[in-house]
Amino acid sequence: MSSERISFKKTGYFSSLICDYLEEKSELKAFYHHFPKIENFENQIKEKQISVQEQSRIVLVDSLKQQYKDIDASDLTHQNIDALKQENTFTITTGHQLNLFTGPLYFLYKIVSAINLSKELNETYPSYNFVPVYWMATEDHDFDEINYFNFKGKKVQWNRESQGAAGELSLEGLEDIFKLYSKELGVSKNADYLRDLFSRAYLNHTNLADATRYLANELFKDYGLVIIDANDTNLKKQFAPFIEDELLHQKSFKSVLETNKDLSKAYDIQVNPREINLFYLKENLRERILFEDDIFKVNNTNISWSKSEILKHLREVPERFSPNVIMRPLYQEVILPNLCYIGGGGELAYWFQLKQFFNTVHVPFPILLLRNSALIKTKQQSDKLKKLNISNADIFLKRDAFINKKVREISNINIDFSSQKEHLEVQFKTLFKLAEQTDKSFLGAVKAQEVKQLKGIENLEKRLLKAQKKTLADQVSRITELQEQLFPGQSLQERNTNFSEFYLEYGERLIPNLIKNLEPLKGEFLILNL
Protein backbone atom coordinates (compact mmCIF):
# COMPACT_ATOMS: atom_id res chain seq x y z
CA MET A 1 0.00 0.00 0.00
CA SER A 2 1.21 3.51 -0.84
CA SER A 3 -0.38 6.78 0.14
CA GLU A 4 -0.49 10.42 -0.89
CA ARG A 5 -2.09 13.44 0.72
CA ILE A 6 -4.02 16.49 -0.39
CA SER A 7 -5.28 19.41 1.69
CA PHE A 8 -8.94 19.30 2.66
CA LYS A 9 -9.38 22.69 1.01
CA LYS A 10 -8.02 21.49 -2.34
CA THR A 11 -10.47 18.58 -2.49
CA GLY A 12 -13.33 21.05 -2.93
CA TYR A 13 -15.59 18.87 -0.76
CA PHE A 14 -15.28 20.66 2.60
CA SER A 15 -16.98 23.82 3.84
CA SER A 16 -15.25 27.15 4.37
CA LEU A 17 -15.96 26.72 8.10
CA ILE A 18 -13.96 23.50 8.28
CA CYS A 19 -11.16 24.78 6.04
CA ASP A 20 -10.87 27.94 8.13
CA TYR A 21 -10.77 25.85 11.31
CA LEU A 22 -7.95 23.70 9.95
CA GLU A 23 -6.06 26.88 9.10
CA GLU A 24 -6.75 28.25 12.61
CA LYS A 25 -8.35 31.41 11.26
CA SER A 26 -8.80 34.06 13.95
CA GLU A 27 -12.52 34.45 13.15
CA LEU A 28 -13.19 31.03 14.71
CA LYS A 29 -11.09 31.27 17.87
CA ALA A 30 -14.07 32.17 20.05
CA PHE A 31 -15.97 29.02 19.06
CA TYR A 32 -13.57 26.34 20.27
CA HIS A 33 -11.16 25.74 23.13
CA HIS A 34 -7.82 24.04 22.43
CA PHE A 35 -6.87 23.35 18.81
CA PRO A 36 -6.09 19.65 18.10
CA LYS A 37 -2.30 19.61 18.41
CA ILE A 38 -0.50 16.97 20.43
CA GLU A 39 0.99 19.55 22.82
CA ASN A 40 -2.44 21.08 23.57
CA PHE A 41 -3.71 17.88 25.17
CA GLU A 42 -1.66 18.57 28.30
CA ASN A 43 -3.86 21.48 29.38
CA GLN A 44 -7.01 19.64 28.31
CA ILE A 45 -6.01 16.74 30.59
CA LYS A 46 -5.52 19.08 33.56
CA GLU A 47 -8.88 20.77 33.06
CA LYS A 48 -10.78 17.52 32.65
CA GLN A 49 -9.06 15.85 35.59
CA ILE A 50 -10.42 18.52 37.92
CA SER A 51 -14.00 18.20 36.66
CA VAL A 52 -14.43 14.40 36.66
CA GLN A 53 -15.73 12.92 39.91
CA GLU A 54 -14.72 9.47 41.16
CA GLN A 55 -18.38 8.41 41.51
CA SER A 56 -18.99 9.31 37.88
CA ARG A 57 -16.20 6.95 36.82
CA ILE A 58 -17.62 4.14 38.96
CA VAL A 59 -21.10 4.52 37.43
CA LEU A 60 -19.59 4.61 33.93
CA VAL A 61 -17.58 1.43 34.41
CA ASP A 62 -20.48 -0.43 36.04
CA SER A 63 -22.76 0.52 33.13
CA LEU A 64 -20.19 -0.53 30.54
CA LYS A 65 -19.64 -3.88 32.22
CA GLN A 66 -23.36 -4.51 32.19
CA GLN A 67 -23.52 -3.61 28.49
CA TYR A 68 -20.60 -5.94 27.72
CA LYS A 69 -21.84 -8.93 29.70
CA ASP A 70 -22.84 -10.88 26.56
CA ILE A 71 -20.07 -9.56 24.30
CA ASP A 72 -16.91 -11.49 23.44
CA ALA A 73 -14.62 -8.51 23.93
CA SER A 74 -10.83 -8.61 23.84
CA ASP A 75 -8.66 -8.49 26.95
CA LEU A 76 -7.52 -5.04 25.83
CA THR A 77 -11.10 -3.75 25.71
CA HIS A 78 -11.80 -5.12 29.21
CA GLN A 79 -8.57 -3.53 30.44
CA ASN A 80 -9.64 -0.21 28.95
CA ILE A 81 -13.04 -0.41 30.64
CA ASP A 82 -11.43 -1.18 34.02
CA ALA A 83 -8.91 1.64 33.52
CA LEU A 84 -11.72 4.19 33.27
CA LYS A 85 -12.08 3.98 37.07
CA GLN A 86 -8.61 5.50 37.43
CA GLU A 87 -8.21 9.26 37.66
CA ASN A 88 -5.41 9.24 35.07
CA THR A 89 -7.54 7.62 32.34
CA PHE A 90 -9.32 9.65 29.67
CA THR A 91 -11.37 8.94 26.58
CA ILE A 92 -11.10 9.94 22.92
CA THR A 93 -14.63 9.73 21.55
CA THR A 94 -16.34 9.50 18.22
CA GLY A 95 -20.03 8.90 17.62
CA HIS A 96 -22.20 7.65 14.82
CA GLN A 97 -25.70 6.52 13.98
CA LEU A 98 -26.65 2.85 13.95
CA ASN A 99 -26.32 2.51 10.18
CA LEU A 100 -27.15 -0.87 8.68
CA PHE A 101 -23.91 -2.87 8.36
CA THR A 102 -21.92 0.30 9.24
CA GLY A 103 -23.43 2.35 6.38
CA PRO A 104 -20.87 4.49 4.51
CA LEU A 105 -17.14 3.86 4.71
CA TYR A 106 -16.40 6.81 6.98
CA PHE A 107 -17.88 4.86 9.91
CA LEU A 108 -14.56 3.00 9.89
CA TYR A 109 -12.52 6.18 9.49
CA LYS A 110 -14.13 7.75 12.56
CA ILE A 111 -13.30 4.80 14.77
CA VAL A 112 -9.79 4.36 13.36
CA SER A 113 -9.19 8.08 14.07
CA ALA A 114 -10.17 7.55 17.73
CA ILE A 115 -8.01 4.43 18.02
CA ASN A 116 -4.96 6.03 16.44
CA LEU A 117 -5.22 9.27 18.41
CA SER A 118 -5.48 7.27 21.65
CA LYS A 119 -2.37 5.34 20.65
CA GLU A 120 -0.45 8.54 19.84
CA LEU A 121 -1.46 10.11 23.16
CA ASN A 122 -0.46 6.99 25.09
CA GLU A 123 3.00 7.27 23.52
CA THR A 124 3.28 11.03 24.14
CA TYR A 125 1.86 11.08 27.69
CA PRO A 126 2.85 7.70 29.19
CA SER A 127 1.76 8.61 32.73
CA TYR A 128 -1.88 8.67 31.53
CA ASN A 129 -4.18 6.18 29.83
CA PHE A 130 -6.22 7.04 26.75
CA VAL A 131 -9.17 4.92 25.66
CA PRO A 132 -10.91 5.04 22.25
CA VAL A 133 -14.71 5.19 22.56
CA TYR A 134 -17.47 4.74 20.00
CA TRP A 135 -20.68 6.43 21.19
CA MET A 136 -23.65 4.66 19.60
CA ALA A 137 -26.41 7.12 18.71
CA THR A 138 -29.07 4.77 20.08
CA GLU A 139 -31.50 7.58 20.89
CA ASP A 140 -31.67 8.95 17.35
CA HIS A 141 -34.79 8.31 15.27
CA ASP A 142 -33.85 9.20 11.66
CA PHE A 143 -34.52 5.72 10.29
CA ASP A 144 -34.36 6.81 6.64
CA GLU A 145 -30.73 7.84 7.19
CA ILE A 146 -29.63 4.48 8.59
CA ASN A 147 -31.79 1.79 6.96
CA TYR A 148 -29.54 1.07 3.97
CA PHE A 149 -26.02 0.74 2.64
CA ASN A 150 -24.62 0.91 -0.89
CA PHE A 151 -22.91 -2.14 -2.34
CA LYS A 152 -21.48 -2.20 -5.87
CA GLY A 153 -23.80 0.54 -7.05
CA LYS A 154 -26.92 -1.04 -5.52
CA LYS A 155 -28.88 0.11 -2.49
CA VAL A 156 -29.37 -2.61 0.11
CA GLN A 157 -32.37 -1.23 1.99
CA TRP A 158 -34.33 -2.33 5.04
CA ASN A 159 -37.93 -1.15 4.61
CA ARG A 160 -40.19 -1.19 7.64
CA GLU A 161 -42.15 1.07 9.95
CA SER A 162 -40.05 2.82 12.59
CA GLN A 163 -41.01 4.72 15.72
CA GLY A 164 -39.13 5.68 18.86
CA ALA A 165 -35.40 5.44 19.52
CA ALA A 166 -33.39 3.62 16.84
CA GLY A 167 -31.45 1.50 19.32
CA GLU A 168 -34.62 -0.21 20.54
CA LEU A 169 -35.79 -1.09 17.04
CA SER A 170 -36.42 -4.80 16.54
CA LEU A 171 -34.57 -6.53 13.69
CA GLU A 172 -37.69 -7.75 11.94
CA GLY A 173 -37.22 -8.07 8.19
CA LEU A 174 -33.43 -8.33 8.14
CA GLU A 175 -33.46 -12.01 7.25
CA ASP A 176 -34.80 -11.08 3.80
CA ILE A 177 -32.13 -8.37 3.47
CA PHE A 178 -29.49 -10.94 4.39
CA LYS A 179 -30.63 -13.30 1.64
CA LEU A 180 -30.49 -10.58 -1.01
CA TYR A 181 -27.10 -9.27 0.15
CA SER A 182 -25.71 -12.80 0.41
CA LYS A 183 -26.39 -13.41 -3.28
CA GLU A 184 -24.61 -10.18 -4.25
CA LEU A 185 -21.46 -11.17 -2.35
CA GLY A 186 -20.56 -14.05 -4.64
CA VAL A 187 -18.28 -16.94 -3.70
CA SER A 188 -15.01 -16.41 -1.84
CA LYS A 189 -13.48 -16.73 1.60
CA ASN A 190 -13.99 -13.00 2.25
CA ALA A 191 -17.61 -13.23 1.05
CA ASP A 192 -18.20 -16.05 3.54
CA TYR A 193 -16.80 -13.91 6.35
CA LEU A 194 -19.09 -11.00 5.45
CA ARG A 195 -22.12 -13.30 5.31
CA ASP A 196 -21.25 -14.72 8.70
CA LEU A 197 -20.62 -11.28 10.19
CA PHE A 198 -23.94 -9.89 8.95
CA SER A 199 -25.80 -12.99 10.12
CA ARG A 200 -24.27 -13.01 13.61
CA ALA A 201 -24.86 -9.27 14.05
CA TYR A 202 -28.42 -8.94 12.76
CA LEU A 203 -29.99 -12.40 12.92
CA ASN A 204 -28.70 -13.35 16.38
CA HIS A 205 -29.71 -10.19 18.27
CA THR A 206 -33.03 -8.66 19.22
CA ASN A 207 -32.51 -4.92 18.66
CA LEU A 208 -30.42 -2.53 16.58
CA ALA A 209 -28.27 -1.33 19.49
CA ASP A 210 -27.13 -4.85 20.39
CA ALA A 211 -26.51 -5.71 16.73
CA THR A 212 -24.41 -2.58 16.17
CA ARG A 213 -22.40 -3.13 19.35
CA TYR A 214 -21.64 -6.68 18.26
CA LEU A 215 -20.64 -5.56 14.76
CA ALA A 216 -18.34 -2.72 15.89
CA ASN A 217 -16.74 -4.98 18.50
CA GLU A 218 -16.03 -7.70 15.94
CA LEU A 219 -14.39 -5.23 13.57
CA PHE A 220 -12.29 -3.39 16.17
CA LYS A 221 -11.90 -5.53 19.29
CA ASP A 222 -8.19 -6.10 18.62
CA TYR A 223 -7.64 -2.37 19.20
CA GLY A 224 -9.36 -2.04 22.57
CA LEU A 225 -12.33 -0.02 21.33
CA VAL A 226 -14.96 0.65 24.01
CA ILE A 227 -18.53 0.96 22.74
CA ILE A 228 -21.09 2.82 24.83
CA ASP A 229 -24.87 2.97 24.73
CA ALA A 230 -25.79 6.10 26.67
CA ASN A 231 -29.49 5.20 26.70
CA ASP A 232 -28.90 3.84 30.17
CA THR A 233 -30.76 4.55 33.42
CA ASN A 234 -27.68 4.99 35.63
CA LEU A 235 -25.89 7.19 33.12
CA LYS A 236 -29.00 9.34 32.77
CA LYS A 237 -29.09 9.71 36.56
CA GLN A 238 -25.63 11.26 36.33
CA PHE A 239 -26.98 13.74 33.82
CA ALA A 240 -30.27 14.43 35.63
CA PRO A 241 -29.16 17.76 37.19
CA PHE A 242 -28.44 19.13 33.70
CA ILE A 243 -31.79 17.83 32.43
CA GLU A 244 -33.55 19.61 35.32
CA ASP A 245 -31.63 22.80 34.57
CA GLU A 246 -32.66 22.55 30.91
CA LEU A 247 -36.32 22.08 31.83
CA LEU A 248 -36.40 25.00 34.25
CA HIS A 249 -34.00 27.55 32.76
CA GLN A 250 -33.49 26.76 29.02
CA LYS A 251 -29.84 27.79 29.17
CA SER A 252 -28.93 25.96 25.98
CA PHE A 253 -31.52 27.92 23.96
CA LYS A 254 -30.27 31.28 25.20
CA SER A 255 -26.56 30.49 24.86
CA VAL A 256 -26.74 28.88 21.43
CA LEU A 257 -28.95 31.64 20.01
CA GLU A 258 -26.38 34.19 21.14
CA THR A 259 -23.54 32.17 19.61
CA ASN A 260 -25.45 31.75 16.36
CA LYS A 261 -25.68 35.53 15.97
CA ASP A 262 -21.89 35.78 15.97
CA LEU A 263 -21.15 32.60 14.01
CA SER A 264 -23.69 33.40 11.28
CA LYS A 265 -21.83 36.59 10.35
CA ALA A 266 -19.38 34.47 8.36
CA TYR A 267 -20.72 30.90 8.25
CA ASP A 268 -23.87 28.88 7.78
CA ILE A 269 -25.58 27.65 10.95
CA GLN A 270 -25.83 23.88 11.24
CA VAL A 271 -28.61 23.53 13.82
CA ASN A 272 -31.08 25.82 15.56
CA PRO A 273 -31.91 25.35 19.25
CA ARG A 274 -35.36 24.81 20.65
CA GLU A 275 -36.55 26.31 23.91
CA ILE A 276 -36.24 22.86 25.51
CA ASN A 277 -33.68 20.60 23.82
CA LEU A 278 -34.97 17.31 25.16
CA PHE A 279 -37.06 14.43 23.86
CA TYR A 280 -39.30 12.10 25.81
CA LEU A 281 -38.74 8.39 25.21
CA LYS A 282 -41.09 5.46 25.68
CA GLU A 283 -41.65 2.31 23.66
CA ASN A 284 -42.29 3.39 20.05
CA LEU A 285 -42.25 7.04 21.13
CA ARG A 286 -39.66 9.81 20.76
CA GLU A 287 -41.21 13.26 20.86
CA ARG A 288 -40.13 16.76 21.90
CA ILE A 289 -40.83 18.12 25.37
CA LEU A 290 -42.60 21.48 25.22
CA PHE A 291 -43.40 24.12 27.84
CA GLU A 292 -46.67 25.94 27.22
CA ASP A 293 -49.02 27.79 29.59
CA ASP A 294 -46.98 26.70 32.63
CA ILE A 295 -47.38 23.04 31.65
CA PHE A 296 -44.76 20.62 30.33
CA LYS A 297 -46.10 18.54 27.43
CA VAL A 298 -44.92 15.80 25.11
CA ASN A 299 -45.55 16.86 21.54
CA ASN A 300 -48.25 14.93 19.62
CA THR A 301 -49.40 13.09 22.77
CA ASN A 302 -51.70 13.66 25.77
CA ILE A 303 -48.79 13.39 28.22
CA SER A 304 -48.30 16.46 30.41
CA TRP A 305 -46.95 17.48 33.83
CA SER A 306 -46.79 20.42 36.16
CA LYS A 307 -43.33 21.64 37.17
CA SER A 308 -43.24 19.55 40.36
CA GLU A 309 -44.63 16.49 38.53
CA ILE A 310 -42.01 16.51 35.77
CA LEU A 311 -39.16 16.89 38.27
CA LYS A 312 -40.54 13.94 40.25
CA HIS A 313 -40.86 11.97 36.99
CA LEU A 314 -37.25 12.81 36.13
CA ARG A 315 -36.05 11.44 39.45
CA GLU A 316 -38.08 8.25 38.99
CA VAL A 317 -37.35 7.46 35.31
CA PRO A 318 -34.42 9.58 34.05
CA GLU A 319 -33.97 7.20 31.13
CA ARG A 320 -37.11 8.62 29.51
CA PHE A 321 -35.48 12.02 29.03
CA SER A 322 -33.32 12.14 25.94
CA PRO A 323 -30.98 14.95 24.84
CA ASN A 324 -31.33 16.25 21.30
CA VAL A 325 -28.49 17.37 19.03
CA ILE A 326 -27.85 20.46 21.18
CA MET A 327 -27.79 18.64 24.55
CA ARG A 328 -26.23 15.33 23.48
CA PRO A 329 -22.65 16.71 23.37
CA LEU A 330 -23.06 17.98 26.93
CA TYR A 331 -24.37 14.58 28.04
CA GLN A 332 -21.30 12.95 26.52
CA GLU A 333 -18.89 15.30 28.27
CA VAL A 334 -20.66 14.93 31.63
CA ILE A 335 -20.59 11.12 31.77
CA LEU A 336 -17.22 10.49 30.08
CA PRO A 337 -13.73 11.61 31.15
CA ASN A 338 -13.39 12.85 27.59
CA LEU A 339 -10.69 15.02 26.06
CA CYS A 340 -11.51 15.10 22.38
CA TYR A 341 -14.47 14.58 20.09
CA ILE A 342 -13.76 13.31 16.58
CA GLY A 343 -16.43 14.04 13.99
CA GLY A 344 -17.16 14.94 10.40
CA GLY A 345 -17.49 18.47 9.08
CA GLY A 346 -21.22 18.70 9.79
CA GLU A 347 -20.75 17.50 13.36
CA LEU A 348 -17.95 19.93 14.13
CA ALA A 349 -20.09 22.72 12.70
CA TYR A 350 -22.73 22.25 15.41
CA TRP A 351 -20.12 21.72 18.13
CA PHE A 352 -18.82 25.23 17.34
CA GLN A 353 -22.26 26.51 18.28
CA LEU A 354 -21.96 25.04 21.81
CA LYS A 355 -18.82 26.59 23.30
CA GLN A 356 -20.64 29.38 25.15
CA PHE A 357 -23.28 26.95 26.42
CA PHE A 358 -20.57 24.72 27.93
CA ASN A 359 -19.06 27.77 29.62
CA THR A 360 -22.47 28.66 31.04
CA VAL A 361 -22.94 25.23 32.66
CA HIS A 362 -19.27 25.00 33.73
CA VAL A 363 -18.30 21.84 31.82
CA PRO A 364 -14.90 21.70 30.02
CA PHE A 365 -15.28 21.99 26.25
CA PRO A 366 -13.46 19.16 24.45
CA ILE A 367 -10.85 19.44 21.73
CA LEU A 368 -12.60 19.11 18.36
CA LEU A 369 -10.87 17.03 15.69
CA LEU A 370 -11.97 16.53 12.11
CA ARG A 371 -12.04 12.78 11.46
CA ASN A 372 -9.71 11.23 8.94
CA SER A 373 -10.96 11.18 5.36
CA ALA A 374 -9.62 8.91 2.65
CA LEU A 375 -10.03 7.80 -0.93
CA ILE A 376 -9.15 4.17 -1.60
CA LYS A 377 -7.85 3.36 -5.08
CA THR A 378 -7.37 -0.22 -6.22
CA LYS A 379 -4.24 -1.15 -8.17
CA GLN A 380 -6.31 -1.44 -11.33
CA GLN A 381 -7.74 2.05 -10.84
CA SER A 382 -4.29 3.49 -10.08
CA ASP A 383 -2.89 1.93 -13.24
CA LYS A 384 -5.74 3.33 -15.36
CA LEU A 385 -5.30 6.81 -13.89
CA LYS A 386 -1.61 6.72 -14.67
CA LYS A 387 -2.23 5.50 -18.23
CA LEU A 388 -4.76 8.27 -18.84
CA ASN A 389 -2.44 10.86 -17.26
CA ILE A 390 -5.01 11.78 -14.60
CA SER A 391 -3.51 13.32 -11.46
CA ASN A 392 -4.89 13.23 -7.91
CA ALA A 393 -5.80 16.91 -8.27
CA ASP A 394 -7.72 16.09 -11.46
CA ILE A 395 -9.94 13.40 -9.95
CA PHE A 396 -11.23 15.74 -7.23
CA LEU A 397 -12.55 18.19 -9.82
CA LYS A 398 -16.31 18.41 -10.26
CA ARG A 399 -17.52 16.35 -13.25
CA ASP A 400 -17.85 19.09 -15.88
CA ALA A 401 -14.57 20.76 -14.95
CA PHE A 402 -12.85 17.35 -14.96
CA ILE A 403 -14.14 16.44 -18.43
CA ASN A 404 -13.37 19.88 -19.89
CA LYS A 405 -9.83 19.82 -18.53
CA LYS A 406 -9.10 16.34 -19.85
CA VAL A 407 -10.68 17.03 -23.28
CA ARG A 408 -8.46 20.08 -23.68
CA GLU A 409 -5.41 17.99 -22.73
CA ILE A 410 -6.08 15.06 -25.08
CA SER A 411 -7.46 17.10 -27.97
CA ASN A 412 -5.29 17.57 -31.07
CA ILE A 413 -6.55 21.13 -31.42
CA ASN A 414 -6.22 23.98 -28.96
CA ILE A 415 -9.62 24.82 -27.45
CA ASP A 416 -8.27 27.15 -24.79
CA PHE A 417 -9.01 30.71 -25.91
CA SER A 418 -7.42 32.35 -22.86
CA SER A 419 -4.72 34.07 -24.93
CA GLN A 420 -7.32 35.43 -27.37
CA LYS A 421 -9.34 36.84 -24.49
CA GLU A 422 -6.24 38.44 -22.98
CA HIS A 423 -5.36 39.96 -26.37
CA LEU A 424 -8.89 41.35 -26.69
CA GLU A 425 -8.76 42.86 -23.20
CA VAL A 426 -5.46 44.61 -24.09
CA GLN A 427 -7.05 46.06 -27.23
CA PHE A 428 -10.03 47.38 -25.28
CA LYS A 429 -7.77 49.04 -22.71
CA THR A 430 -6.46 51.14 -25.61
CA LEU A 431 -10.02 51.93 -26.73
CA PHE A 432 -10.97 52.96 -23.18
CA LYS A 433 -8.02 55.38 -23.05
CA LEU A 434 -9.02 56.80 -26.44
CA ALA A 435 -12.61 57.32 -25.27
CA GLU A 436 -11.36 59.03 -22.08
CA GLN A 437 -9.32 61.48 -24.17
CA THR A 438 -12.03 62.25 -26.76
CA ASP A 439 -15.60 61.80 -25.56
CA LYS A 440 -16.33 60.05 -22.22
CA SER A 441 -19.88 59.36 -23.30
CA PHE A 442 -18.43 56.61 -25.50
CA LEU A 443 -17.11 54.67 -22.44
CA GLY A 444 -20.41 52.80 -22.03
CA ALA A 445 -20.46 51.81 -25.69
CA VAL A 446 -16.86 50.58 -25.51
CA LYS A 447 -17.65 48.55 -22.39
CA ALA A 448 -20.73 47.01 -23.99
CA GLN A 449 -18.70 46.06 -27.05
CA GLU A 450 -15.99 44.48 -24.85
CA VAL A 451 -18.56 42.38 -22.97
CA LYS A 452 -20.20 41.34 -26.24
CA GLN A 453 -16.96 40.24 -27.88
CA LEU A 454 -15.65 38.41 -24.82
CA LYS A 455 -18.97 36.61 -24.51
CA GLY A 456 -18.80 35.70 -28.18
CA ILE A 457 -15.36 34.14 -27.75
CA GLU A 458 -16.54 32.23 -24.66
CA ASN A 459 -19.57 30.88 -26.52
CA LEU A 460 -17.39 29.82 -29.44
CA GLU A 461 -15.02 28.09 -27.02
CA LYS A 462 -17.92 26.21 -25.39
CA ARG A 463 -19.31 25.11 -28.78
CA LEU A 464 -15.94 23.86 -29.98
CA LEU A 465 -15.39 22.05 -26.67
CA LYS A 466 -18.80 20.42 -26.97
CA ALA A 467 -18.04 19.30 -30.53
CA GLN A 468 -14.67 17.92 -29.46
CA LYS A 469 -16.30 15.96 -26.63
CA LYS A 470 -18.39 14.17 -29.25
CA THR A 471 -15.28 13.45 -31.32
CA LEU A 472 -13.51 12.09 -28.23
CA ALA A 473 -16.60 10.32 -26.86
CA ASP A 474 -14.79 7.04 -26.13
CA GLN A 475 -12.01 8.75 -24.14
CA VAL A 476 -14.56 10.90 -22.28
CA SER A 477 -16.56 7.79 -21.42
CA ARG A 478 -13.48 6.05 -19.98
CA ILE A 479 -12.36 8.93 -17.79
CA THR A 480 -15.93 9.61 -16.63
CA GLU A 481 -16.47 5.98 -15.70
CA LEU A 482 -13.21 5.94 -13.76
CA GLN A 483 -14.09 9.09 -11.83
CA GLU A 484 -17.55 7.67 -11.10
CA GLN A 485 -15.95 4.55 -9.58
CA LEU A 486 -13.89 6.73 -7.24
CA PHE A 487 -16.59 9.35 -6.61
CA PRO A 488 -19.89 7.46 -6.84
CA GLY A 489 -22.79 9.77 -7.46
CA GLN A 490 -20.25 12.62 -7.77
CA SER A 491 -19.74 12.45 -4.01
CA LEU A 492 -16.82 11.38 -1.85
CA GLN A 493 -16.34 7.60 -1.86
CA GLU A 494 -16.36 7.54 1.95
CA ARG A 495 -19.87 9.05 2.05
CA ASN A 496 -21.31 6.44 -0.29
CA THR A 497 -19.50 3.09 -0.42
CA ASN A 498 -19.81 0.38 2.23
CA PHE A 499 -16.69 -1.18 3.72
CA SER A 500 -17.72 -4.63 2.51
CA GLU A 501 -16.83 -3.77 -1.11
CA PHE A 502 -13.21 -3.38 -0.06
CA TYR A 503 -13.32 -6.24 2.43
CA LEU A 504 -14.33 -8.54 -0.42
CA GLU A 505 -11.07 -7.75 -2.16
CA TYR A 506 -8.64 -7.14 0.73
CA GLY A 507 -10.15 -9.17 3.56
CA GLU A 508 -8.60 -9.00 6.99
CA ARG A 509 -5.83 -6.70 5.71
CA LEU A 510 -8.28 -3.79 5.23
CA ILE A 511 -8.61 -2.47 8.79
CA PRO A 512 -4.94 -2.99 9.77
CA ASN A 513 -3.95 -0.98 6.69
CA LEU A 514 -6.30 1.81 7.70
CA ILE A 515 -4.86 1.73 11.22
CA LYS A 516 -1.38 1.96 9.73
CA ASN A 517 -2.08 4.88 7.40
CA LEU A 518 -4.69 7.18 8.96
CA GLU A 519 -3.00 9.89 11.06
CA PRO A 520 -5.64 11.88 12.97
CA LEU A 521 -3.58 15.00 13.72
CA LYS A 522 -2.15 15.30 10.21
CA GLY A 523 -5.05 17.45 9.00
CA GLU A 524 -4.94 16.25 5.40
CA PHE A 525 -7.07 14.12 3.11
CA LEU A 526 -5.49 10.71 2.47
CA ILE A 527 -5.36 8.90 -0.88
CA LEU A 528 -4.62 5.20 -0.40
CA ASN A 529 -3.35 3.05 -3.25
CA LEU A 530 -4.17 -0.53 -2.30
Contact criterion met (CB below 8 Å) for 114 and 93: yes
Query: Angle 399-410/473-486 helices, nearest 10 degrees?
Result: 140
332 and 400 assigned to the same domain: no
Q: Is residue 99 assigned to a domain? A: yes
**pTM for this one?**
0.89
Mean pLDDT value across residues 93-109 = 98
Q: How many domains, the chain?
A: 2
How many angstroms separate the most distant Cα atoms in the chain? Answer: 91
Give the model's pLDDT for residue 160: 92
Q: Cβ–Cβ contacts within 10 Å for residue 313, how many?
A: 16
Burial class (CB in 10 A: 0-12, 13-18, 19+), 387: exposed
220 and 194 assigned to the same domain: yes
Mean pLDDT value across residues 214-233 = 98
- Domain holding 491, by residue range, is 381-502
45 and 17 assigned to the same domain: yes
DSSP symbols for 377-399: E-HHHHHHHHHTT--HHHHTS-H
* Ranges 249-253, 433-437, 506-510: which has the least confidence: 433-437
Given a cut of 80, whether residue 51 has pLDDT beyond it is yes
369 and 498 assigned to the same domain: no
Give the model's pLDDT for residue 530: 82
Question: Distances in Å between the alpha carbon of 68 and those of 180, 196, 202, 289?
Answer: 31, 21, 17, 32
Query: Angle 189-202/499-506 helices, nearest 10 degrees?
Result: 140
The predicted-structure confidence for 441-481, as pLDDT tens digits, reads as follows 878 888 888 888 888 877 876 777 676 656 657 787 888 89
Q: Is residue 312 assigned to a domain? A: no
Q: Is residue 288 assigned to a domain? A: no
What single DSSP character describes residue 207? Answer: B
Contact criterion met (CB below 8 Å) for 166 and 98: yes
- Determine the Cα–Cα distance for residues 117 and 245; give it in Å rounded to an integer: 34
- Determine the Cα–Cα distance for residues 292 and 254; give it in Å rounded to an integer: 17
Q: What percent of the chain has pLDDT over 70?
A: 97
